[in-house]
């Protein structure tokens, strides 16, 4: 496939009638020397999102392609289907509830990629937007290597992403040909239903395609709200933590990344998190699953994990511990 000298902007959306216009307006405000195509992937929205997207497509037929799925595909498949429709030399994306706050975001990143052929991805910092009150705050702290870095040096951090993603894809721009190579070589990672996200595997594989560039500026207002990763439901949280950690472990194996102390501590922490979710949910089956994960990930149990395992090994102690916890934190 011959890629055109333009930027493909992917916007995946589902039931975002309150925010989709804001996202599209922030794209259309971009001052960029290259043309862009905007690919809107509407995952069969049931509210007014589709009508808004059609109106924008009618107003901007030269650059907006609106694609409405006939059935809901889910975030992962909708996202990668949209990426595969991209004709541009470079790809960037914006979620339907987020907003680019820098009108030169595309131009800054385009300049880096054009000037440095060995850079496959360029990204920036971002702010958090509380959709309840509109307040903006700094993103979680992370010591980001400034300038241009060999992507392989970042792969372990990408897999662990302890405090925040190393790369927030809605701040990034990357090469379409690099994405296509990753997708062709590791297709199951992009499509397997067991994997709960779409960004982790893409960024991890891109890190082995070349260098990453970081621009120390804010280009994105990232909307925060409730999601599977933030829910207080311990059963759902267990499932999410387990699946995203298993994805990280599978990526480590696929990319042949050797274990080190940081990765071992990471897996040990994740096993502890799983044990705590199983404890709070009072689910012996999840406790046993956490134990199997510890074996699969070669995680050496921490003392606190051993304590939780001991408490949950006896039903009456487990019930008593839950009762004490309930009283201490004032649960009804």
What is the pLDDT, as a whole number, of residue 105?
Answer: 98
The answer to whether residue 9 sits within a structural domain is yes
User: What is this structure's pTM?
Assistant: 0.93
Q: What pLDDT, on the 0 to 100 scale, is given for residue 331?
A: 54
**Do 206 and 150 touch, CB atoms closer than 8 A?**
no
Overall residue count recorded for the chain in this entry: 332
Tell whether 287 and 220 lie within a shared domain: no
The reply to whether 8 and 150 lie within a common domain is: yes
65 and 214 housed in the same domain: yes
Query: Are 105 and 150 part of one and the same domain?
Result: yes
Whether 244 maps to a domain, the answer reads no
User: So what's the pLDDT on residue 176?
Assistant: 98
Regarding whether 162 and 282 lie in a shared domain, the answer is no
Say if 317 falls within a structural domain. yes
In a domain, residue 233? The reply is no
Structural domain count, the chain? 2
Which residue segment(s) compose the domain that 268 sits in? 259-329
Domain match, 100 and 175 both:
yes
Backbone angles phi, psi at 39, to 5 degrees: -105, 110
CATH code of the domain covering residue 73: 3.90.550.10
State whether 139 and 280 are in the same domain. no
Same domain, 208 and 142: yes
Q: Burial-class residue 310 by CB neighbours within 10 Å (0-12, 13-18, 19+).
A: exposed
Q: Based on the fold, state whether residues 186 and 112 are members of the same structural domain.
A: yes
List, in order, residues 6 or more apart from 194 with CB less than 8 Å away: 243, 246, 247
pLDDT at 228: 45
pLDDT averaged over 10-residue windows placed end to end, the chain, 332 residues: 92 97 98 97 97 98 97 96 98 97 98 98 95 85 83 94 88 98 97 94 98 96 68 89 97 95 94 97 97 94 95 96 88 52
Q: Which pLDDT score is estimated for 132?
A: 85
142, part of any domain: yes
């Amino acid at each position: 496939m011959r890629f055109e000298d333009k930027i493909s902007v992917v916007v995946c959306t589902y039931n975002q009638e309150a925010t989709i216009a804001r996202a599209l307006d922030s794209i259309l405000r971009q001052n960029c020397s290259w043309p862009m195509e905007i690919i809107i992937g509407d995952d069969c929205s049931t509210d007014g999102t589709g009508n808004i997207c059609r109106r924008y497509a009618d107003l901007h037929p030269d650059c907006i392609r609106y694609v409405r799925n006939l059935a809901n595909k889910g975030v992962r498949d909708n996202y990668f289907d949209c990426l595969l429709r991209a004709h541009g030399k470079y790809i960037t994306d914006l979620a339907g509830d987020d907003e680019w706050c820098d009108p030169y975001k595309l131009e800054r990143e385009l300049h880096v990629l054009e000037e440095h052929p060995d850079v496959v991805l360029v990204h920036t910092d971002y702010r958090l937007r509380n959709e309840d009150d509109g307040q903006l705050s700094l993103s979680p702290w992370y010591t980001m290597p400034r300038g241009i870095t060999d992507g392989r040096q970042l792969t372990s951090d990408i897999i662990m992403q302890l405090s925040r993603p190393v790369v927030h894809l809605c701040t990034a721009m990357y090469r379409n040909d690099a994405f296509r190579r990753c997708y062709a070589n590791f297709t199951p990672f992009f499509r397997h239903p067991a994997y709960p996200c779409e960004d982790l595997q893409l960024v991890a594989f891109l890190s082995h395609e070349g260098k990453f560039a970081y621009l120390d500026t804010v280009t994105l207002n990232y909307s925060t709200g409730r999601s599977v990763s933030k829910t207080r439901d311990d059963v759902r949280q267990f499932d999410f933590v387990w699946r995203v950690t298993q994805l990280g472990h599978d990526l480590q194996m696929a990319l042949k990344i050797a274990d080190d102390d940081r990765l071992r501590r990471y897996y040990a922490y994740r096993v502890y998190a799983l044990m705590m979710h199983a404890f709070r949910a009072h689910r012996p089956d999840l406790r046993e699953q956490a134990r199997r994960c510890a074996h699969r990930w070669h995680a050496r149990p921490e003392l606190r994990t051993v304590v939780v395992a001991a408490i949950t090994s006896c039903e009456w102690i487990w019930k008593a511990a839950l009762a004490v916890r309930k009283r201490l934190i004032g649960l009804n």
